[in-house]
Amino acid sequence: MTTLRNLWAVPTARFALVVLAAVALLALFGEALAPHDPLRQYTDRVLEGPSADHLLGTDYVGRDVLSRLMTGTRLSVVGAAEAVLIGGALGIPTGLASAWLGPRLEWLTLRVSDTLVILPFTVFAIAVAGTLGNGLQQAMFAIGVLISPIFFRVTRAVALGLRRQQYVEAAELMGASQWWTLRKHIWSKVLPNVAVTAAQATGAALLVVASLSFLGLGVSPPAPTWGGMLASDLDYLAQQPWAPVYPGLLMMATVGSLNLLADAVREATGDAPRRRRKRRSPSASPSAGPSAAAPVNARKENADA
């Protein structure tokens, strides 16, 4: 709750949360709230500008643009979330394990992570889609695998810093099991860093999902996605030069909000708020716990990598 209160105290976080809540609302209820069937073709009203019937106009086969934007939110956002979940599921446990379970596993996971880092997102996703079939699940699996090293490195960096903390060593000397130590002492410190990473990774994944749909991968037409709409709009710039702005704005707002939220989470859980609070009230006692050290270590590990 303290973290949430700290988060809400940051103005940019409030803005980001409002935007993301709206996007989440669209993802959940966009199709139901859409004024028209997003697939219905009004072929006598092709490429029309905004009107009372179609607030954002119609596309190249006469479909309502607003309805497609609202409906397309789900596939665009869910795809990104799916990739981040896969990335987290692969990266976080291996990150913890590499810091905890000995040098052989550490060597192996680091080499795998290094290998994945050098693969370009879009090209790898295209290759996977070409091999496993052109579907959203295949593309998201590919993106999730490539995102996992980010989670791996952040988790590992934090865990490495905590591994050497006296209270962790004390718990181990007193006979605490590895699982207990991880659960009680490590996970609560890793979580804020994972949250920051997840927010940033979601933004990146959202752009990759949009890029893939732009290239015609992932989601088959006529299902609407932001990237797919952007791609098709580009063919009709002479008729509707404003059309790419709509999906572009939605993408920009969502990715921007995720990045703002990531910054705010870092601020709410890391050094920054304490520094600010310190400036505001010099008498406040500084926190010297591992949660303060962890992000610093995380950054150092990342810099080393």
Partner 1 sequence: MTRARTSPPRLNLPNPRQSRRGFLGLGLAAGIVLSLEACGGASTADSGSGGTKTIKWAWQLPTTWDPVTSSAGSDVQMLALAYDPLTALDEQGNAVPWLAESWAYDEAGTSVTFTLRPGLTFSDGKPIDAAAVAASIERGRTQDGSLIAPQMATIKKVSASSDLEVLVELSEVDYQYPLLFAGKTGMVVNPAAFEKDAAALATQPAGSGPFTVTSYVQNDHASMKKNPRFHLADEIKVENFDLYPQQDPSTAVASVRSGQFNVGRLGGAQVQQAKDAGLDVQVIDTMYISVLDVNATMAPFDDPAVVEAMKFGIDREKVREVAFFGLGDVNYQPFPPGYVGYNAELEDLYAYDPEKARQLLADAGYTAPVKGTFTSSGQSDPAVELIQAQLKEIGIELEIESIPPTQHTQLVYLEHSKALTYDGFAGRESPVQAFQVLFGAEGLMNPGRKTSPELEAQLEKVKKTPTDSPDYPALLQEATKIAVTSFPNVFLQLMPSAIARKGVSELPDLPSLRRFEGVTA
Q: Is the Cβ–Cβ distance between 154 and 194 less than 8 Å? A: yes
Figure out which of the listed residues 120, 221, 286, 289 binds partner 1, where binding follows CB under 8 A.
221
Tell me: does residue 122 bind partner 1 (CB under 8 A): no
Q: Which of residues 143-202 bind partner 1 (CB under 8 A)?
A: none
Tell me: does residue 236 bind partner 1 (CB under 8 A): yes
Task: For residue 285, give the DSSP letter.
Answer: P
Tell me: does residue 132 bind partner 1 (CB under 8 A): no
Figure out which of the listed residues 11, 35, 50, 130 binds partner 1, where binding follows CB under 8 A.
130
If one counts every other C-beta atom within 10 angstroms of the C-beta of residue 75, the result is 22
**Cα–Cα distance measured from residue 115 to residue 108, given in angstroms and rounded to the nearest whole number:** 11
Q: What is the 3-state secondary structure (H, E, C) of 110-129?
A: HHHHHHHHCCCHHHHHHHHH
**Cα–Cα distance measured from residue 92 to residue 64, given in angstroms and rounded to the nearest whole number:** 42
Closer residue to partner 1, CB minimum distance, 3 or 41: 41
CB of 42 to partner 1, least distance (A): 10
Q: Can you give the length of the chain in residues? A: 305
Q: Is the Cβ–Cβ distance between 233 and 240 less than 8 Å? A: yes
Q: Is the Cβ–Cβ distance between 60 and 122 less than 8 Å? A: no
Give the range of 108-116, 180-188, 191-199, 212-220 binding partner 1 by CB under 8 A: 212-220
Closer residue to partner 1, CB minimum distance, 225 or 257: 225
Q: Is the Cβ–Cβ distance between 74 and 265 less than 8 Å? A: no
Residue with token string 């290998």:
115
Q: How far is CA 167 from CA 154, 164, 174, 236, in A?
A: 21, 9, 10, 63
**Cα–Cα distance measured from residue 64 to residue 117, given in angstroms and rounded to the nearest whole number:** 40
CB of 224 to partner 1, least distance (A): 11
Looking at the DSSP bridge assignments, the partners of residue 58 are 64
Figure out which of the listed residues 2, 131, 173, 235 binds partner 1, where binding follows CB under 8 A.
235
Figure out which of the listed residues 234, 249, 252, 284 binds partner 1, where binding follows CB under 8 A.
234
Figure out which of the listed residues 1, 118, 238, 303 binds partner 1, where binding follows CB under 8 A.
238
For the purposes of burial, counting CB atoms within 10 Å of the CB of 41, is it exposed (0-12), middle (13-18) or buried (19 or more)?
middle
Tell me: does residue 232 bind partner 1 (CB under 8 A): yes
Closer residue to partner 1, CB minimum distance, 31 or 172: 31
- Site size with partner 1, rule: CB under 8 A: 21
Residue with token string 């590919």:
142
Closer residue to partner 1, CB minimum distance, 54 or 185: 54
Closer residue to partner 1, CB minimum distance, 39 or 171: 39
**Cα–Cα distance measured from residue 25 to residue 45, given in angstroms and rounded to the nearest whole number:** 29
Tell me: does residue 4 bind partner 1 (CB under 8 A): no
Give the range of 11-19, 58-66, 106-114, 247-255 binding partner 1 by CB under 8 A: 58-66
Closer residue to partner 1, CB minimum distance, 216 or 248: 216
- Give me the residues that bind partner 1 (CB under 8 A), please: 39, 41, 43, 46, 60-62, 130, 134, 216-217, 220-222, 232, 234-239
